[in-house]
Chain A
């Protein structure tokens, strides 16, 4: 049996953490784009879209991310498409993020007073103009802190991709723990790396939030 130094462990974990970061970024950006579409569709007053998207959000927020991963992993295979853990993880986390981001942003848009919609429509602005020039610029300001905060949830969510066999930080931790027989040390390091990724983002989100609240008084 080879001996592993602490540095060996940390180095391998850091290499695997790249995949955690890449997966997070893809899910966050993909989910953001999809979320934006899901946000705007029901605002046009389309009742069917509104109900469908409400259901979509409800389903993704009301079921375990782990199940969503399994379903995509095995579901894509049903279509005869060869799935890798990587594709399934990207797809599942993107859908998951889109549902949460839509919900977060919907709340921000809803927090814009009705008078802003009324004033802008009484000035003959079109729906797109109302959205682009009046509503979204205001909603954006409120949306930034919770959106940044949600990034932490995405990063933590990517850990579940380990269960379907995608080798990111958590999975690598399990593999290294198995060969080093030092599970406590390894999982401790894994946790600290997640912490190092997430905590600064949490702090930043918190400070944005406080700034926003101060600005409002």
Chain B
């Protein structure tokens, strides 16, 4: 038996794939930024906040971490309009990815925060820094440094997870593959190509974040 694979018609579709990859990266970048902020805030709330706040954040984190991303996305995109919240596919995707990453980032960053040596905080406070200043300048940078590898892995998981956003017709990479295969009926080749691009993106983003972390996020 012979299996004939033909990638030539695929390569002709490169602008679509490129655009798809750009969307994937764009969605990831925005939700990383927003999710990182949520994660940091919630991590602080969970580690040092008042009891009800801790409980609320805990509920958010567990709810998100114990349900599939696709269900979260569908709830936001298909479910929320019933409550009068109509979102475009792109907005719904960004919202879902942000909320999802925020929950995981909370746990990851919290793990970094709680391992801060007591003396560091005391040293900061004895220099008359405010609680917020101590958190932002003394506790957070080394905490992020400690958990950076885990955080980067999670960002990549969210990026790869964004493939389902194509299901609500966001024109990201998997959607591009879908479109191509519906035009030329070469599904396998289309998905192979898209998958390979995802792999390259995953490796590239990991490299980029490992490079960027010490320079822009937590200092050396």
A residues at B contact (CB < 8 Å):
58-59, 62-68, 70-71, 74-75, 77-80, 152, 156-157, 159-160, 162-163, 170, 173-174, 177, 182-188, 190-191, 194-195, 198-199, 202
B126 interfacial contact with A, CB 8 Å: no
Closest A residue to B62 by CB, please name it: A199
On chain A, the residues within 8 Å of B3 by CB distance are: 78-79
Q: How far is the CA of A45 from the CA of B68 in the complex (A)?
A: 38
B133-141, B144-152, B185-193: which lies at the A interface?
A: B185-193
**Are A156 and B69 touching (Cβ within 8 A)?**
yes
24 contacts between A and B (CB under 8 A): A62-B156, A63-B160, A63-B199, A64-B161, A64-B198, A66-B163, A67-B195, A67-B198, A70-B187, A71-B191, A77-B188, A78-B188, A156-B66, A162-B70, A182-B82, A183-B82, A185-B82, A187-B75, A188-B79, A190-B75, A191-B67, A195-B63, A199-B62, A202-B62
B65 at the interface (CB under 8 A from A): yes
B65 touches A202 (CB 8 A): yes
List 6 additional contacts besides A65-B160, A194-B67, A202-B66; criterion CB under 8 Å: A59-B199, A63-B195, A63-B199, A64-B195, A174-B74, A191-B75
Indicate if the CB atoms of B68 and A156 lie closer than 8 Å. yes
Judge if B129 is at the interface, Cβ distance under 8 Å.
no
* Interface class of chain A by DSSP: helix
What's the Cα separation between A62 and B78 when bound, in Å? 29
- Give chain B's interface secondary structure class: helix
B167 at interface (Cβ–Cβ under 8 A)?
Answer: yes
Known A-B contacts A67-B191, A70-B191; the reply to A170 vs B68 at CB < 8 A is yes
Chain A residues with Cβ below 8 Å from B174 are 64, 66-67, 70
Report how far A198 CA is from B67 CA in the complex, Å: 7
The reply to whether A156 and B163 contact each other, CB–CB distance below 8 Å, is no
B121 on the interface (CB 8 Å rule)?
no
Q: Is B72 an interface residue (CB 8 A)?
A: yes
Q: Which residues of chain A are near B195, meaning CB under 8 Å? A: 63-64, 67-68, 71
